[in-house]
Amino acid sequence: MALYNYILLVVLILLLGFLVVSSRRKLMRKGWLKRTINIVTVTAIVFITCAVVLFPNLRSIQTTGKYPYTSRVLELTDTSRIEEYKNDGSSRKLSVLIYYPDADKIENNTAPLIVFSHGGISTKTSNLSLYKELASHGYVVASIEHTYHALSTEIEGKKIYIDSGYMKELNTEDSHSDIENSYECFQKWMKLRTDDIIFVIDTFIEESVEENNSFYSLIDANSIGVAGHSLGGSAALGVARQRNDIKAVIALESPYMCDITGVDGSKFTWNTNPYQSAVMNIYSDSGYPLIESDNKYVQNKNYLYNNGNVEYYYIEGSNHYTLTDLVRTSPILCALLGGGYKKSGYDTLEFINQKSLVFFDKYLE
């Protein structure tokens, strides 16, 4: 467990001890005071117990690379775009989490860049195990927190929570009952996310040209990969369609939303041109059956093979959220949201780390 969980456990024990002692020794003689303190204490005990049980934040996955690594958070402003979730004309602002190897161990302009996009309701820390593993092998990893699509983010010291309208779109969108609405939602979501990813890539490439420019100077602008989970993986695939400098893309249980070109009756129409970049899809028990039943996953079926620069893996016994670090930080919440899972969360994360590293090493090193 994380250090804060042990601290909470100590506080919990102290509170329980206080209840027992105050009850036996009758420390408080006034009834109203005793009732008030008991209510506050019991409430605190319940809250702490829930926090420890729901968010134990179990140990991290051990990295296997030879490089020490560090992290930092950047706040970037895209002055070329107006923030569509505000009406004050302000520019689009992003928080980006960077993991990168020790600069003293890596020569300038030799580290591949991986840009990661989180799922529909998540944050930039969704796949920390993967970021750390790649950084330990000499990669620079940039995980974008898509403002107003993220559960919460912090920009200029202020908390920004997920947009309620976007949440409603996610919860009500159903491509089997209203395919036109789904198409509109997909186009809107993908435009925002692919623009975010492209902005971050362009910024990092521009900064990497200058010598000794923090972690930027480590980046090899000719070795760029993208990755993402769920909606983020869909956006990563979309960026690979738009840019010729993307050499490899990993989608963790993601439909090819950017390949949808329109609607024909109850079906989507698709861009079926082959990808110029290498592609790897990873599925769980949640998404793999959808390949045969969901009209959003028609393109996934088209790419369900292992040859050339396309490959896929199906992790039996996992669920949609065990493909992220939620399975480590909150196993109970992961099971509640994903419908349970049989395969160890650690085994799933280690499998993803291993396959992702081999894949990126093959196409980016």
pLDDT, tens digit, for every residue of 176-220?
999 999 999 999 999 999 999 999 999 999 999 988 889 999 999
One domain for residues 34 and 130: no
| Joined tokens for residue 36 | 């008030």
Residue 144 is predicted with a pLDDT of: 98
pLDDT of residue 212: 85
Residues 129 and 220 in one domain: yes
pLDDT, residue 122, reads 96
Biggest alpha carbon distance in the chain? 80
Same domain? 214 vs 353: yes
350, 353, 359, 360: CA torsion to nearest 10: -160
Domain count, the chain: 2
Tell me the pLDDT of the chain averaged across its residues: 90
Is residue 59 situated within a structural domain? no
Tell me which of 61-75, 80-94, 133-147, 329-343 is least confident.
329-343
What residues have CB less than 8 Å from 362, skipping those under 6 apart? Answer: 248, 278
Instruction: Take residue 335 and report the two structure tokens written for it.
Output: 């099971």
Give residue 44's pLDDT.
66
Residue that finishes a domain, picked among 29, 54, 79: 54
Predicted local distance difference test score (pLDDT) of residue 211 = 84
Q: Is the pLDDT of residue 20 over 80?
A: no
Same-domain status, 39 and 84: no
The answer to whether the beta carbons of residues 57 and 1 sit under 8 Å apart is yes
Of 31-45, 72-86, 238-252, 275-289, the poorest mean pLDDT is in 31-45
Tell whether 34 and 127 lie within a shared domain: no
Q: What is the CATH number of the domain that holds 283?
A: 3.40.50.1820
Asked if 8 and 108 sit in the same domain, the reply is no
Residues 109 and 9 in one domain: no
Give the residue numbers spanning the domain of 20. Answer: 3-54
Overall pTM surpassing 0.95 (yes/no): no
The answer to whether residue 276 scores a pLDDT higher than 70 is yes
pLDDT, residue 234, reads: 98
Residues 78 and 39 in one domain: no
Domain check: are 38 and 185 in the same one?
no
- Domain co-membership, 138 together with 166: yes
Q: Looking at the structure, do residues 50 and 127 belong to the same domain, yes or no?
A: no
The answer to whether the beta carbons of residues 282 and 300 sit under 8 Å apart is no
Let me know whether 17 and 109 are in one domain: no
Tokens of 357: 């590293």
pLDDT at 351 > cutoff 70: yes
